[in-house]
Amino acid sequence: MRDVIKGEYLRYLKLKKQSQGPFSFEKKSKPKVGEIRIFGIFPPIYFLIAEKSFTFENGKKEKIIYKVLPLSEEIILSHLTDNTPIFVFKDLILCLAALPFWIYLTEEILFEYSKKIAETDSESIEKCIKYAENTEIPQNYQGKFIRSEMERLSQFNTSSILDFISTLEEVEQKTSLDFKVVERMEEEHSYKLAATPKKVLKGKNWYGIIEESKDKNTLILYLPHSAIGKKIVIRIKDDIIFEGEIESDKLIIENLPSLPDYSFLEEELDVQI
């Protein structure tokens, strides 16, 4: 079986060298949660739209970003465990396996570069989310394939988040980390080595961008538009770094320590509205 997986991976690499896209689809429709869509790139990849992750409203304008779960035709490379979700379609000669990660795509990208092929139910969505959250990517040819697909889709994930953030209001508030918080973060996280440092972050109720300087770095935090005028509490782990009424959907957190990677903030930074 190992030789079969290796052969499939080598075949995939040959296909990847012919990578093309994204392509627009002639028949377009607005994306909806529960849809399975083919994405306009080669080698082919599919998405299950899992949830509306964030909605920004400004007057009559609405900006939506979705959490989507990639699905692949490469069943041998994708099938990691007995819990790997598999989709078999009655009306299509197609079988798709869920990949154990997710990305974020704006409504505009999904509208322009993807096409609905089927729909599924909330139970299937929940299974795929749990699979993505709890499945470890192996250190073998299947893992190499999955990481290659993550890399291939990363440009669309990052551009979607940056495009979404660019629509938010430019009014901003500032807060600065206490030196004790900085010390704790340095002690707990400065040892980490990051091959590809993560600069665009996503947590519950927030998006963030790390801006680096020679001294201390800055986290630009983007909050839900609905939070404006409400009292919020922001913690990093057990430390409260901001408490009070929010006047903007943009909060600048200064005095961030210089660390090789900030992905831990996606778990440790908690915004309570």
The domain locations on the chain are 2-166, 173-272
**Per this entry, what is the length of the chain?**
273
> Which pairing describes strands 217-222 and 206-211: parallel, antiparallel, or unpaired?
antiparallel
Q: How many whole angstroms separate alpha carbon 122 and alpha carbon 128? A: 10
How many Cα atoms sit within 13 Å of 103 on the Cβ side?
26
* Residue 20: Cβ-neighbour burial (10 angstroms; 0-12, 13-18, 19+): exposed
pLDDT (tens digit per residue) in 196-240:
456 778 888 888 888 887 667 888 888 877 778 889 999 998 899
> Span 21-33, mean pLDDT?
93
Mean pLDDT estimate for the chain? 86
Q: How many whole angstroms separate alpha carbon 192 and alpha carbon 181? A: 18
Tell which residue, 58, 28, 56, has the closest CA to residue 40: 28
pLDDT (tens digit per residue) in 80-129:
999 999 999 988 899 999 999 999 899 999 999 999 999 999 999 999 99
Q: Are 225 and 205 in contact (CB under 8 A)?
A: no
How does DSSP classify residue 205? T
Q: pTM score, two decimals?
A: 0.65
Q: How many whole angstroms separate alpha carbon 46 and alpha carbon 71? A: 5
H-helix or E-strand spanning residue 270: strand 269-272
Q: Are 217 and 211 in contact (CB under 8 A)?
A: yes
